Amino acid sequence: MSADPFHLNRPVHLARRDGFYEKATVLIDRLAALKNPAEQRQTVEKALFFFREARRHAAAANLAEKTSRQSRLFTEFLDMAIDNTLSITRMLRRQRTAETPDSPLQQFLQSRDTAEKMRSHYHRCSTHILKGLAALLKAAEKPCHDLQQTSLAKMSSADKARYEKARKYFEEEAEDDVGKSGDSIA
């Protein structure tokens, strides 16, 4: 048994880190194909929640003494993914606000034309950020897989069993975590 008190829960945090990250990347992959704005917002907000949870569990796992440099770098990478996803969320929210007939933007500027131009601008921005995020996540596939494999290779058989048990539980319960979250997404 390790003298490091943070080592005990590390396999569980790593399992949740990996699970939340994987679910977020699937949602981001799916986002570009969605045309319904309500579905887009719901999907990106769920991805944002999953990235934030992956980040939270990565940070908790990194409290252990024997945390690798790659694990610490992955936490920074998650910060970038969160920032990009949050930007998409905000652009979609601005787009929705600009396209409503009683848009505060339209009312303040007293210009429907300007509100329409801004709606189009917000749409282009969200699409552009999404393309960048998708490329970033694609480039991260191998390093993420390698990090996961390295983490597993360094675990004892008991820790691997805890990791696998936590992953299995996560797969069954992750969707419920979104509903339990009281966080304001954006």
- Tens-digit pLDDT profile for residues 99-146: 887 888 888 888 888 888 999 999 999 999 999 999 999 999 999 999
Of 7-11, 14-18, 120-124, where does mean pLDDT reach its minimum? 7-11
pTM: 0.87
pLDDT at 77 over 60: yes
Helix, strand, coil share of the chain (percent; to 5): 80, 0, 20
- Tens-digit pLDDT profile for residues 40-53: 999 999 999 999 99
The per-residue pLDDT for 27 is: 97
* Residue keyed to tokens 């995020």: 133
pLDDT at 158 over 90: yes
Which is higher by pLDDT, 76 or 9?
76
Largest CA distance in the chain: 69
Using CA of residue 74, residue 77, residue 83, residue 88, what is the dihedral sign? Answer: negative
pLDDT at 176 over 80: no
pLDDT at 184 over 50: no
CA distances to 70, 71, 94, 99, 139 from 115, rounded to whole Å, are 45, 44, 10, 7, 36
Rounded to an integer, what distance in angstroms lies between the CA atom of residue 164 and that of residue 185?
29
| Domain range list for the chain | 10-180
